[in-house]
Amino acid sequence: MLKSVNLRDYMLPNPASVRPDDNILDAMQTIIDNRVSGVCVVDAENNLVGILSELDCLRAVLSATYNHGGIGLVREHMASENLVVAHPNEDIVDIAQDMLRKNKRRRPVVENGKLVGQITCRQLLRAVRNFRS
């Protein structure tokens, strides 16, 4: 049903992103405004340094409520260790299989160390739709 295609053809170019020093509330607004389940976290040179999901934001809010403290910064709640990324020239079938294996809904696409896109389950579904018989 799905033919092998280049990831670059289906990735979201210039995905929504936030900075590590952004406030979690601002990052939450970016997630809401862009209707996404998470955002890439990049530094000033557009290097990927983390991923912040809706669940990370929810944990931050609940923790602040429970601890009667401030919500904090993106850097305090983002995933930053062992980030799995894709290259824009990878095969979309290989990426889809790996995302299923790892139960991940999105994967940043990095080229020469810079964030150039993101592939999500939604883009994968569009690829299948475009190639159906």
What is the per-residue pLDDT across 90-119, written as a single tens digit (0 to 9) for each?
Answer: 998 899 999 999 988 889 999 998 999 999
Predicted local distance difference test score (pLDDT) of residue 133? 47
Q: How many CB atoms lie within 10 A of CB 78?
A: 26
Q: What is the mean pLDDT of residues 58-67?
A: 84
Q: Is the pLDDT of residue 76 over 90?
A: yes
The answer to whether the pTM exceeds 0.75 is yes
Half-sphere exposure of 80 (CA within 13 A, CB side): 12
Q: Does domain 7-131 have CATH number 1.10.3720.10?
A: no
Percent of the chain surpassing pLDDT 70: 93
All structural domains of the chain with their residue ranges: 7-131
Half-sphere exposure of 40 (CA within 13 A, CB side): 28
- Coil, helix or strand for 74? helix
